[in-house]
Amino acid sequence: MKLVACLRAGLAAIVFACAGLAAAQGNLEINTPAIAALQQSMQQRHAQLAPLYASGAVGLARDGTVALRDASGVPLAQRGQVNALIAAENADRAALYREIARANGHPEWEADVRATFAQRWIDRAQRGWWVQGSGGWAQK
């Protein structure tokens, strides 16, 4: 429950914390039905991802996605499920970045939104989770 609340607060904070990009280019504090639906989907999925982050099997990549960092941390019989979970999360993340840019009337800002979110996901990662920086994977 604590992780869900943290993620919920984190998602809201990410949108609000994009002040640098927002000041330069537009309002990233936008909340549309599409954005709200994506956030809800991601929050629900987080309960399944949290143990994978904690074990180090999954990490937060520097490109704003989630990555299978250590496949050996997932039993072979569960890897297909974990890969599907990661794919669904990454699809929602990509859609979220796209929707925020689109809601601002500037779909060309998608890469900037993605870069801002990527850094925020990493900055807000819990202690012990793995994050990818310019030097590779590191435990936070």
Structure confidence by residue, pLDDT tens digits, 12-67: 444 434 434 443 456 667 899 999 999 999 999 999 999 999 999 999 999 999 99
Read off the pLDDT of each residue in 72-86 and give the average, rounded to a whole number. Answer: 97
Question: DSSP states of 41-88 as a string?
Answer: HHHHHHHHHHHHHHHTSEEE-TTS-EEE--GGGS-GGGHHHHHHHHHH
pTM exceeds cut of 0.75: yes
Does residue 86 have a pLDDT over 80?
A: yes
Can you read off the two tokens belonging to residue 41?
Answer: 């989907």
Q: Give the per-residue pLDDT at 21.
A: 43
What residue spans define the domains of the chain?
A: 2-139
Q: How large a percentage of the chain has pLDDT more than 70?
A: 80
Q: How confident is the model at residue 106 (pLDDT cuts 50, 70, 90)?
A: very high
Q: How large a percentage of the chain has pLDDT more than 90?
A: 77
First to last CA, the chain: 22
Does residue 108 have a pLDDT over 90?
A: yes
Arithmetic mean of pLDDT over the chain? 86
Read off the pLDDT of each residue in 110-127 and give the average, rounded to a whole number. Answer: 94
Q: Give the per-residue pLDDT at 101.
A: 95
